[in-house]
Structure 1
Amino acid sequence: MAQTATTSSSGLATPTPLLRALQVLAGLAVLNVLFQFITAGQLFPSGGPDQLHAAGAILLHVVSGLATIAAFVLWRTGRITLGLAALTFGVFVWGFIQAAIGGYDTLYLHVPGAMLLTGGVVWLFLASLRARSR
């Protein structure tokens, strides 16, 4: 079953359900990264909710993984660009790299990596909102 874009009364194409899912997942990733910043800030100086921070990382893997699947399907059906699909995949992979280097002894890598991940997640969200159904 092919998904087609419909035109609203304003003349703009409304997103297909799968594109809307990508947009929602990208928005959830932004909120998740915000949650990660909050829990990371509470980890210092005396230690804090490291279980919450770890759970947030797992949730980010799930959300970005689902977004990657949606983006891949949208790209394969010609509804989004390869660049947007690649960005989604890059965010997904970078989340695992962040988790791998997330420890007290590797904070000098983890903190700049978190900035890069944040930039990628925000870029993904904005790019998904700009994507038009074809």
Structure 2
Amino acid sequence: MSAQHRHAAPPAPATSPPALALRVLATASVVVLAWQFVTAAGLFSGGDAGPHGTGAIVLHVVAGLTAVAAVWLRATAGGPWWPTVVAVAVFAFTFVQAWFGEIPGLVVHLPGAMALVAGSTWLATWSFLRAR
């Protein structure tokens, strides 16, 4: 038996705390992004940035916790490295989004929102499919 096989972590069951945390938090990220889309529409009709700004803070927190859960799952169960990279990239990109959130930055902010949705949705989907 090679050294790599002797020291590899056993796969985490689908209901392990890190797997469950990743599922819940990745799904929460998608829900918060949906909130962001709903509240962004109000900004174009002269509404207050309050709900959208609050949602951005919640997104930072939830995406950060999702990244922590992805690192936790990788550390305890092994498996592919790229879900962790995607989770950390999504978290980092929430700050880029915040930076370009003003009207002049919408040329970056709107496509960036699509990238966040793609990364977050992919991660949430993967977290459920990995149990199979």
The corresponding residue for 1:90 is: 89
Q: For the Cα contact (< 8 Å) 2:86–2:119, is it kept in 1?
A: yes
- 5 Å matches for 1:1-134? 5=12, 13-45=13-45, 47-132=46-131
Using structure 1 for the length normalisation, give the TM-score: 0.84
Deviation at 1:30, TM superposition (A): 0.5
1:74-121 Cα deviation digits (max 9, x unpaired):
112234420111111011011111011110111111111111111111
Q: Structure 1 residues 15, 105: closer, same or farther in 2, change over 3 A? A: same
How many Å separate the matches in 1 of 2:84 and 2:115?
A: 18
Residues 71, 80 of structure 1: 8 Å contact kept = no
What letter is aligned with 1:66?
L
Paired residues in the alignment total 124
| Equivalent-residue separation in structure 2 for 1:82 and 1:20 (angstroms) | 18
Task: Indicate conservation of the 8 Å contact 2:11/2:77, yes or no.
Answer: no
Partner of 1:9: none
CA distance in 1, matches of 2:74, 2:61: 20
Cα distance in 1 for partners of 2:33, 2:74 equals 25
Amino acid corresponding to residue 22 of structure 1 in structure 2: L
Aligned residue for 2:44, secondary structure, equals coil
Aligned residue for 2:131, secondary structure, equals coil
Tell me how large the CA RMSD over aligned residues is. Answer: 2.0
Deviation of the 1:67 alpha carbon: 1.0
The answer to whether the Cα contact below 8 Å between 2:11 and 2:79 also exists between their aligned partners in 1 is no
- On the 8 A contact 2:25/2:66 being kept in 1, the answer is yes
Contact 2:23 2:124 in 1 (8 A): yes
Distance 1:110 1:4 in 2: 38
Q: 2:116, 2:15 → 1: CA distance?
A: 26
How many percent of aligned residue pairs carry the same amino acid? 39
- Distance in 1, matches of 2:79 and 2:60, equals 22
